[in-house]
Amino acid sequence: MWQWLYKLGSPRWFYELGERSLPWLWGATVFLLAVGVVWGLAFAPPDYQMGDNYRIIYMHVPSAGLMKGCFYMMAICSAAVLIWKIKMADIVAKAIAPIGVMATLLMLASGSLWGIPTWGTWWIWDARLTSSLLQFFIYMGIIVLRSAFDSQDSAARACAVLTLVGVVNIPIIEYSVEWWNTLHQGASSLGMRDASANPPEIWIPAFFTGFGFIGLFFIGLILRSQNEILLRERRTQWVRDLVAKETAGA
Amino acid sequence: MPEFQFDSFAAFLAMGDYAIYVWPVYILFALFFVTTVLPPILGRRKIIRQLKARLERMESNMAEQGEGN
């Protein structure tokens, strides 16, 4: 376990692991998303109150999950940057930020579109929505902050500090529906114990899109990290060899 | 086995009159997919080109220095 973590800290090892995993990730992700989207849109039964509008949740719930998951991962990487000064952790944190921003946008937009016919409004300043919007600004703040530094090391430390400050908002989003009496409903339970909860016909497509989103996240993470590794390690022999090999035919 | 829930393809597109809410969300999802994978794929090509040019510059510098000696 520790040896594996140690290896993961090596940019070259990370790059090569990404290279080996990408074909599998692509296959699994495209399969999961295709099944989940088609099933969710066409084969899951309509909700007895919301009709077909509820099909939006197959995008809303996974994107909300990514918004949280991305930030937790960035926070773990940030801790690794500050405590152990691991270069690779900063590369990964930088790679995750734009994915988190786009997931947050999809989550906000899908929630708004769902809200128009269901709540009669696309936006309301309730605790869940407001804290989620704040999270979007925190993500943007981290990206802008990084671009404000010339020195890579200062940028890494500043972004790590801001990420660790920003992570306090994630549990606030998580528990906002329990702490405050808000318009946004709490999480629905899956129909295993409780008869009023969602039956499998409804949640199985969400299972597919959920894991598909996770796969897509890892594809984006690997692709962006690999690019950053090539740039930062450009002076090393292995990157020179790789560039020479990839451009040999041209 | 799950069954197709709509009477016709037109009914599928209409989404029980929720088409203007449901379809934009899935279009945004397609955009999310594209913006997650396409920029880094295009970025990678650019980086490889830049690094290749850098390697060639270094090689020609080294060749010039070699001639000077």
pLDDT for A58-101, tens place per residue? 999 999 999 999 999 999 999 999 999 999 999 999 999 999 99
Does A220 contact B37 at a Cβ distance shorter than 8 Å? Answer: yes
List CB contacts (< 8 A) between B16 and chain A: 46, 51-53
Domain ranges of chain B: 9-68
List CB contacts (< 8 A) between B22 and chain A: 41, 52-53, 55-56, 113
State the residue range of the domain holding A172: 18-185+201-246
Does A219 contact B47 at a Cβ distance shorter than 8 Å? Answer: no
**Residue A158 domain flag:** yes
Closest Cβ opposite residue B2 in set A39, A105, A226: A39
**Residue A2 domain flag:** no
**Residue A12 domain flag:** no
**Residue A196 domain flag:** no
Beta-carbon contacts of A184 under 8 Å, excluding residues fewer than 6 positions away, are: A126, A127, A128, A129, A176, A177
The total of structural domains in chain A comes to 1
Residues of chain A with pLDDT under 70: 188-197, 249-250
List CB contacts (< 8 A) between A37 and chain B: 26, 29
The pLDDT value recorded for residue A189 is: 56
**Residue A192 domain flag:** no
Q: Does A55 touch chain B (CB under 8 A)?
A: yes
The pLDDT value recorded for residue A190 is: 56
pLDDT digits (tens, 9 = 90+) for A18-48: 999 999 999 999 999 999 999 999 988 888 7
The pLDDT value recorded for residue B68 is: 57
Alpha helices in chain A (DSSP H): 2-8, 11-38, 57-84, 87-119, 127-147, 152-166, 169-179, 200-232, 237-246
The pLDDT value recorded for residue A196 is: 54
Q: Does B36 touch chain A (CB under 8 A)?
A: yes
Closest Cβ opposite residue B4 in set A43, A226, A230: A43
